[in-house]
Chains A and B, each alone.
Chain A
């Protein structure tokens, strides 16, 4: 896929299309068709690279490519301009076929300054396209990027197809008669770069022009400046003789349907809203701002007409407390956070386990420990989710594998929490949260409504009487006459729920709470095996490694290798067929962006000699890395 598809024209046989047929313009460049391209935009964190990447993504999605994205930005909102820590990147992989990762190796790097070049050049494929804003290669900026000599002149870039574009000057020229300051004009230069890339990859400018109108409609000068910058970049590509080729990536053959682009956080927020509607309940989302989970709070706070109430609490503990209070009141209490916040919520999670109330806790994982690397991804909170509380304190853990799956697992977590009267931790991560993909919009009619019953019959009522099938206790809404009762964090007597220090009762209740969570296996379908159901190597993954693992495994299968994969979405309890699946393979490989947390759980539960492939760099896993790890076991 990426990394192989976008070779220079000399070595790639590709369909040649006359430029006039597509662009109708004056371009002398040859139009070449490609099936997959990975572009990385990089610049200062104030350069608007995330916006540039998002616009390119939207447009590519709308014209029908399959896409996967990887925004990679610093935690500093505005690190010193031109500095290495201030570099912000956005990678997009767009294709005429199915893509599951943002691409291992960029084919194109657009670098807006020397720091961006320095940080990202080593990732660019050899002979890849390198577009530089030469205006930013001043002595001061070179120094800030720790360049001892100018890379434009010292041969550093000789193994790339370098295009030196004075972006700042060309942009300034296009905007010169507008009543704007130089600073305001310069702020548009990202759209010049975007326009150039639109020309180079034969994209329409319409979606971005529409966006400019909706965003800056009330500031006509700014709108005009952005429009001009975009068009100037596009026209520069078309008229300059710098480029001998430009490219087209045709529509992907996706399953028919209506599509939109969605990130993991967006999908998760939508899933919570949908789940609450299926449950015929108000959603009460309580959260404290934390990267990378805050977008869920932002999205939900705008959806009040969907009966969504949001509470921005004073801290993480208050957020989960309020969510528990909402659930106690008979509505759907949900709290969202990232790793450090989950740590703060531990005690209250124990209360929800003890009180046996429904609760969903979203943990958008980030690189830890402590503050760690807030904007970087990691999967290192699995054991925290599993064990990070005092006492024997089991709860359900779900983990979507792709941005769009966040929608389905948000619904599923609400369903399980209300059906089993237990907390559910939904583990996503920064990569899923901010990464985007096309999403075939599901038909909501195909979803089952939840069957939530609140007990109202006062006959023989006992607060801890359990349902035979789920072991759930009744969910009684305060305000129900005759069912007044008290619950709390002290150990409960079986059935009555009265406070009890009886030794045997405590053991019985401990086991009951565990059995209830174990019963959730009833909700889990058969595990899907990608590939044959027996063989040499089974790759077991969870969460955001799905794309890299599945693609690596498919490539090896095409090479005739005996490898299959499964991807777990239920991490507690596990699906019941895992033991049988494991016994059909000689070796088990567990790639994770942590030091081996799922591997530890699998080894202890199934006594299998699972082997880890572990990467903790705050970066998503690459296809090539997983492929190599598998090859070592074959």
Chain B
């Protein structure tokens, strides 16, 4: 069986990240747990934007819902259930709530004559600003400060049992989550549903004329992506320890867009690598470069839009593809 170039790059990246903790020190590895959560988030946006062609400029909403849901459950703040602290229930709540939120938003935006392209982008930005405002002004959600001292992952059924906060286990949990999510989403992309989504991206009118329920496809893609973003948010918050309104609004939505576009929106693995690379460089270089880092990031981003519209890792995968084609004659 011939592997696709994206799979090949994914496997190389997986081997690299599996051995990485043996090469670098523990505290470097500790940062990667957070990067993997961001990468998972990037994968969710890449699926809905790169694969289905729906540009969501406010995707942090679903990441934030996941983060807040996990925090509320593990902090025992669920109304009427003060004894509930379970990580597992938190995880389920994060995924279910973000999926439902994305489905409702998707239904509102896409049902009947839905919003398209740039319109969708602008409206999703506005939605992100609204949700961020609501979070800031909600005393239940801790307002501006957010929810603090969110407990780490606990293996017991209700917040008891061993806690996982050592960097190495977190690192491998994150890597596993990411690898499984990418593999699963690649399977989804190759399924009948996924092929319909790709057709939707290429020519919506034609797909509709062929009798497909376009709105239903879009809503399903949006909900699936939202759920994945919620999972990313939940995994983020159990490491980071607090959920703040900045996780749910405009700025993180802008960040994830840059990671995905810079990495490459045509391949899930490229988007994930984009997120990890940008976050890694950011933490390394912002000490060194200080305030010039965002300036450089902005310039690199503009240059990549002009010269590598497929993204940096996307371009790499593309070149590899062409090279392999030639090599095989």
A and B pair up: no
| A interface residue numbers (CB < 8 A to B) | none
